Amino acid sequence: MTTTGMRTEFQAWLEAIGSEVEAGLRESLENSSLVGAPEGLREAVTHALLSGGKRVRPGLCLLAAEVCGVDRKAAMPAAVAVEMVHAYSLVHDDLPCMDDDLLRRGRPTVHAAFGEATAVLAGDALQALAFEVLARQPDSTLAVRQSLRLARAAGPAGMVGGQQLDMQLEGAGASASLAEVEQVHAGKTGMLVAHAFLLGVDLAMEDAGPWGQWALLIGRLFQATDDILDATRSTQELGKTAGKDNAAEKATLIAVLGLEGARGYAEDIAAQAQDLIPRLPMQQRSVEIAALPTYLLERCR
Amino acid sequence: MTTTGMRTEFQAWLEAIGSEVEAGLRESLENSSLVGAPEGLREAVTHALLSGGKRVRPGLCLLAAEVCGVDRKAAMPAAVAVEMVHAYSLVHDDLPCMDDDLLRRGRPTVHAAFGEATAVLAGDALQALAFEVLARQPDSTLAVRQSLRLARAAGPAGMVGGQQLDMQLEGAGASASLAEVEQVHAGKTGMLVAHAFLLGVDLAMEDAGPWGQWALLIGRLFQATDDILDATRSTQELGKTAGKDNAAEKATLIAVLGLEGARGYAEDIAAQAQDLIPRLPMQQRSVEIAALPTYLLERCR
């Protein structure tokens, strides 16, 4: 199997389940308390959640369920919930007091289209909706396990904490240490990506075992390659403003290790993930799992 | 029993459980993922949650549990969770793009003390922590029931939706209809106050029965008297900027009915609540329940 072939298998998975995920997101909104919301808020929430994107987090969640031998349909509430949390974080991240961005996935950001106050509220609403979707599941034990996982991954020691650190280190640029950058990564994006996968594993087992280590490596690799993408791609290619990290002197891998150093760093994580594969207790879909580190690495080549 | 005597009984309840609630809030933070958060965020979250306040929502939650014959200790996670949601909503409400307020409970608001971006993140973190606290409970069925209730009450058809409507009607002032004001009230504050009570009822029964109607009346009465307080009290008495509703030409009861009209409206809801009391299935603490409508009415006399 060639490298390109491996990359294509995970991409093919994302494409194969793409319409399922979009339908899942749409149905979850239609069956949620959003239907009782004021129109302006409903539009802003819908704009934030249904505006495309690669849907990597739902894809990881559904893949994890299948790999563990569970029908992926059962993982859809968790897949939707994690994407809702991701979407809310983008809305708040784009606010003038945060990254101050007007463009996201090639479209106006929520505050650019609906105003700043509505953007704050739309983000808040999406976080509440995520926990509503999880709590509506008939299996209480599963719902609580996933709810606790998502709350921790999204909360002050997870995603939100990573964003706070990222902001505190703004202007530090190259003077930040690798350890500091790794701490930002572990929270900011890595944690939610890792737990997106583990929310799928939750359907099959109480103790994630080696999947826990695997998911954390995938999360770190995702954020590492995200830093490289920001530094090397144009605004048009990214669908969001490129080169912002450098402009804000953010504490990124590139600032600390340089571009080649960052690439080497990402390759090292990918190799660790590959080495772990034989120990993963897979039931099926092993080609997509095997292709995942390479897919992440390749996207910033 | 005099009116003043009845008022004192619910106040006495709030005072009696005050230190328990403060301890509950503090312990919940210490046992949550907040301990792993960056210091600046930890301080902002602590500032937002542990800065006093009457703790009416936790008080209602614990009272509901006792009234239904359940040890109030068992209701503490829900009491903490609802106060976390309330605290997060205040932090976001005070932001420059929302109410733009520098003073809350006589202290600097979170964005005044820690900056705007940290205030957005601290609010986000508090919402995640609320669902973490609920999900950590050993009884999964209860945890899910409360989580679903809190998500809906806080979300786009509840508190967040009410804030959106409130904002949309800004500048409308007296030209708003009573129905519009009631819709704002039902969401904005009424919903969370009502469901604070029902989170306590959840410990005792699956179907809240007449408690549902009671809680909604209490929620409406709370918001009605809040409007009156804003119009009649000084900034020093309120511990937050007074008269803001009028300045922003908000669609309040006062704008629509006038001060005396608003008082009559609140008295009418209180009377409906009093009439309902004989039908409430109480096990104990009936004097505090009986005193509640009068307490709310009296606070703005």
- Could you report the per-residue pLDDT of B118-144, keeping only the tens digit for each? 999 999 999 999 999 999 999 999 999
Structure tokens at A263: 């690439």
Chain A interface mutation, best of B100, B164, B188, B195, highest count of A Cβ atoms under 10 Å: B164
B210: nearest Cα among B134, B121, B273, B290: B273
Average pLDDT of chain B is 91
Cα separation, A43 vs A40, in Å, equals: 5
Which residues of chain B neighbour A35 with C-beta distances below 8 Å? 157
Under a CB-based contact definition with an 8 Å cutoff, are residues B64 and B283 in contact? no
Q: A154, B36: Cβ pair inside 8 Å?
A: no
pLDDT per residue as tens digits for the range B65-124? 999 999 999 999 999 999 999 999 999 999 999 999 999 888 999 999 999 999 999 999
Query: Per-residue pLDDT for A84 more than 60?
Result: yes
pLDDT per residue as tens digits for the range A249-286? 788 899 899 999 999 999 999 999 999 999 999 888 78
Query: Can you give the pLDDT at residue A250?
Result: 81
| % residues pLDDT > 90 (chain B) | 70
Confidence grade of residue B8 (pLDDT, cut at 50, 70, 90): low
Which residues of chain B neighbour A141 with C-beta distances below 8 Å? 140
Q: How far is A239 from chain B (nearest CA, A)?
A: 24
Which residues of chain B neighbour A199 with C-beta distances below 8 Å? none
Query: Can you give the pLDDT at residue A283?
Result: 83
Q: A155, B34: Cβ pair inside 8 Å?
A: yes
On the 0-12 / 13-18 / 19+ scale of CB atoms within 10 A, B301 is: exposed
Query: Can you give the pLDDT at residue B93?
Result: 95
Which residues of chain A neighbour B166 with C-beta distances below 8 Å? none
Chain A stretch 142-161, residues whose beta carbon is closer than 8 A to a beta carbon of chain B: 143-144, 147-148, 150-152, 154-158, 160-161
Q: A160, B41: Cβ pair inside 8 Å?
A: yes
pLDDT per residue as tens digits for the range A23-79? 999 999 999 999 999 999 999 999 999 988 899 999 999 999 999 999 999 999 999
Close Cβ partners of A261 (under 8 Å, ≥ 6 residues apart)? A253
Query: Can you give the pLDDT at residue A243?
Result: 73
Query: Can you give the pLDDT at residue B169?
Result: 87
Cα separation, B44 vs B118, in Å, equals: 7
Cα separation, B197 vs B72, in Å, equals: 12
Query: Per-residue pLDDT for A221 more than 80?
Result: yes
Which residues of chain B neighbour A144 with C-beta distances below 8 Å? 135, 137, 140, 143-144, 147
Chain A stretch 228-287, residues whose beta carbon is closer than 8 A to a beta carbon of chain B: none
How many residues are there in chain A? 301
A-to-B residue pairs, Cβ atoms closer than 8 angstroms: 191
Average pLDDT of chain A is 91
Query: What topology is assigned to B3-298 in CATH?
Result: Farnesyl Diphosphate Synthase (1.10.600)
Which residue shows structure tokens 């799992």?
A289
pLDDT per residue as tens digits for the range B237-259? 777 777 777 777 788 899 899 99
pLDDT per residue as tens digits for the range B158-201? 999 999 999 888 877 678 888 888 888 888 889 999 999 999 99
Residue type, B189: T
Query: Can you give the pLDDT at residue B233?
Result: 77
Q: What is the mean pLDDT of residues A192-220?
A: 95
Confidence grade of residue A231 (pLDDT, cut at 50, 70, 90): confident
Query: Per-residue pLDDT for A98 more than 90?
Result: yes
Q: What is the mean pLDDT of residues A106-118?
A: 96
Q: What is the mean pLDDT of residues B140-159?
A: 97
Chain B interface mutation, best of A45, A47, A91, A97, highest count of B Cβ atoms under 10 Å: A97
Cα separation, A6 vs A12, in Å, equals: 10
Query: Can you give the pLDDT at residue A278?
Result: 93
Domain ranges of chain A: 3-298
Q: What is the mean pLDDT of residues B226-241?
A: 78
Q: A124, B127: Cβ pair inside 8 Å?
A: yes
Cα separation, B188 vs B230, in Å, equals: 15
Q: A132, B148: Cβ pair inside 8 Å?
A: yes
Cα separation, B89 vs B122, in Å, equals: 10
DSSP B233: S
Q: How far is CA A69 from the centre of its chain?
A: 23
B197: nearest Cα among B184, B187, B207, B212: B212
Q: How far is A283 from chain B (nearest CA, A)?
A: 28
H/E run at residue B144: helix B140-154
Q: How far is A185 from chain B (nearest CA, A)?
A: 13
Structure tokens at B243: 């008269």
Q: Which residue has the higher pLDDT, A108 or A250?
A: A108
Cα separation, A68 vs B250, in Å, equals: 54
Residue type, B58: P
Query: Per-residue pLDDT for A2 more than 60?
Result: no
Under a CB-based contact definition with an 8 Å cutoff, are residues A64 and A211 in contact? yes
Structure tokens at B222: 């709370």
Query: Can you give the pLDDT at residue A249?
Result: 78
Does any CB of chain A come closer than 8 Å to the CB of residue B36? yes
Chain B interface mutation, best of A33, A109, A169, highest count of B Cβ atoms under 10 Å: A33
Does any CB of chain A come closer than 8 Å to the CB of residue B42? yes
Query: Can you give the pLDDT at residue B9?
Result: 85
Q: What is the mean pLDDT of residues B279-300?
A: 87
Query: Can you give the pLDDT at residue B2?
Result: 42
Of A34, A124, A168, nearest to B40 by CB-CB distance is A168
Query: Per-residue pLDDT for B55 more than 70?
Result: yes
Which residues of chain B neighbour A127 with C-beta distances below 8 Å? 124, 127-128
What does chain A look like in DSSP terms, one character per residue? --HHHHHHHHHHHHHHHHHHHHHHHHHHHHTSGGGGS-HHHHHHHHHHHSS----HHHHHHHHHHHHTT--GGGGHHHHHHHHHHHHHHHHHHTSTTTT--SEETTEE-HHHHH-HHHHHHHHHHHHHHHHHHHHTSS-HHHHHHHHHHHHHHHSTTTHHHHHHHHHHTTTTGGGS-HHHHHHHHIIIIIIHHHHHHHHHHTTT-SS-THHHHHHHHHHHHHHHHHHHHHHHS-HHHHTS-TTHHHHTT---HHHHHHHHHHHHHHHHHHHHHHHHGGGS--SS-HHHHHHHHHHHHHTT-
Confidence grade of residue B300 (pLDDT, cut at 50, 70, 90): confident
Q: How far is CA A104 from the centre of its chain?
A: 15
Query: Can you give the pLDDT at residue A3?
Result: 47
